[in-house]
Structure 1
Amino acid sequence: MTGLLDQFVLFIASFAANWFSALSGGGAGLIQFPMLIFLGLPFAVALATHKVASVALGLGATLRHLKNNQFERRFSLIILGAGLPGVVLGASVILAIPPKLAMFALGVLTFGLGIYSVFKPKLGMDYAPRNQSGRALLIGMLGLFVVGFLNGSVTSGTGLFLTIWLIRYFGLDYQRAVAYTLVLCGLLWNGTGALVLGYLGHIAWDWMPALLAGSILGGYLGSHIAIKKGNLWIKRAFEIVTILIGLKLIWG
């Protein structure tokens, strides 16, 4: 059981992590997941517990983003249909993968995302949808499956991969891509991963009150600021978060 001080620390860490995540389109695991391990949870339990708590980020973001009505039903179904099988597969195999190797590889990739965005000043600034039919769509769905696998298997910052894939390949701007990531990945992908990890492992339910409160509140307020500030502000937040997460995973 966690005491009142631990619950307060969990709430602050969860709020900060999910506020930044809602701004940039991913990255809540940079703060929240290591905090759970630091406070005493084993890796597998921390992973499952964080995955459940991250669903609340999706809920908080959904409450805000649905007001803007930026979602296309067909494209939403494509993201879910291609990504969810990868989430299930990733969550099923992660407990057998050496954590240090997985985290280092993810750190290199995540750091690369941030640097790539920095040197592409026009990336994600305009909404120009593409590659949503024929062979191009199949390639895009394969990419969504791979991102889903990462989301189910490694928890720190994988929503950022979905954000950049939606921008780079499908032509979304940052604001729309972040909205899809927070709602579909945060709520439904993470919900599926939480179910699989909860079935295969253990969840620290007594840690949940503070984590859920911080996730919902941070997700809602972060999404509100992102919507108000627009693409350039979100792009800068994305770059900062990806570079920080990459360095943390490489040298953590």
Structure 2
Amino acid sequence: MEQFGLLIISLLANLLSALAGGGAGLLQFPVLLFLGLSFATALATHKIASVALGVGATLRHLREGSLEPRFALFMLGCGLPGVILGANLILDLDETLAVLALGCLTCGLGLYSIFKQELGMSASRRNRDLNGMLIGGAGLFVIGALNGSLTSGTGLFVTMWLVRWFGLDYQRAVAYTLILVGLFWNGFGALAVALQTPPRWEWLPVLLIGSMLGAYFGAHLGIAKGNRTIKRCFEVLTLLVGAKLIWDGLIGL
């Protein structure tokens, strides 16, 4: 029953994450803590399992051919150093205030998207000159550091950053987030955390299966339903993730 419960939670969490462009930790990570894992062990287990989110989404999105290789490499080059930095710092830091601040920012993302009705509905290429790329890269580095250190919501930040700064529509921004953040950023973060704290190995197979299946079907739904549905899912999930992070931060004060 424990394994079956983990499978269902992982499936649902990653389906929603693949549809909205982030937020798998909203359900998956708290469940691991509830089942008795320490923060460090739960973090390592969740990080490794979340790599399958990228695998499942990649299998679906690559069929659409919607990624620009040069821009994908740019995202990796800017984000991965931040991921490694954040993953090496988190186990030594008090994260309470960071979680509270991140919760407020995440809720802000959802509200911003709600009030900007046409945001992300169509692609409008912008900020691709040198200054724009430098600022955009710095933003990805900061989000990468948050991705390596915290457990919920940072994929949503990447999705919004790609929409707002670089002018991608929601569907393409989610594709970049799921493949590059889910597969590569999470992969490097998982390795960095696992080298410091071992995960719960016997739970990983079922979590990986649930993550991969949920990501594949979530990506399929996102492609089939289009930008409007993805935008609404993004807004709902950012508000839920933000509220959870604020609650966690207040409890920890």
Q: Do both share a fold (TM > 0.5)? A: yes
Is 2:114 aligned against 1:114?
Answer: no
Is 2:80 aligned against 1:84?
Answer: yes
Q: Distance in 1 between matches of 2:79 and 2:151?
A: 15
Is 2:19 aligned against 1:20?
Answer: no
**Number of the residue aligned with 2:159:** 163
Q: CA deviation at 1:132?
A: 1.8
Residue type matched to 1:39 in 2? L
List aligned pairs for 1:1-252, cutoff 5 A. 5-252=1-248
Deviations along 1:154-174, one digit per CA (max 9) or x if unpaired, are 011110000000000000000
Q: Distance in 2 between matches of 1:84 and 1:132?
A: 20
Q: CA deviation at 1:104?
A: 1.4
**Number of the residue aligned with 2:251:** none
Residue type matched to 1:73 in 2? P
Q: Secondary structure at the match of 2:202?
A: helix
Identity of aligned residues (%): 62
Can you give the 5+ residue segments of structure 2 that lack an aligned partner in the other structure? Answer: 249-253
Residue type matched to 2:94 in 1? P
Residue type matched to 1:174 in 2? Y
Residue type matched to 2:61 in 1? H
Q: Distance in 2 between matches of 1:40 and 1:113?
A: 32
Residue type matched to 1:72 in 2? E
Q: Distance in 1 between matches of 2:25 and 2:98?
A: 14
Q: Distance in 2 between matches of 1:205 and 1:103?
A: 27
Q: Which runs of 4+ in 1 moved over 2 A?
A: 99-102
Q: Distance in 1 between matches of 2:91 and 2:97?
A: 13
Can you give the 5+ residue segments of structure 1 that lack an aligned partner in the other structure? Answer: none
Q: Distance in 2 between matches of 1:206 and 1:99?
A: 27
Between 124-133 and 82-91, report the one with greater CA deviation. Answer: 124-133
Q: CA deviation at 1:206?
A: 0.7
Q: Distance in 2 between matches of 1:16 and 1:182?
A: 16
Q: CA deviation at 1:185?
A: 0.2
Q: Secondary structure at the match of 1:56?
A: helix
Residue type matched to 1:181 in 2? T
Q: Secondary structure at the match of 2:142?
A: helix
Q: CA deviation at 1:182?
A: 0.1
What is the aligned residue count?
Answer: 248
Residue type matched to 2:199 in 1? I
Q: Secondary structure at the match of 2:195?
A: helix
Q: Secondary structure at the match of 1:33?
A: helix
Q: CA deviation at 1:133?
A: 2.5
Q: Distance in 1 between matches of 2:38 and 2:164?
A: 36
Q: CA deviation at 1:100?
A: 2.5
User: What TM-score do the two structures reach when normalised by structure 1?
Assistant: 0.97
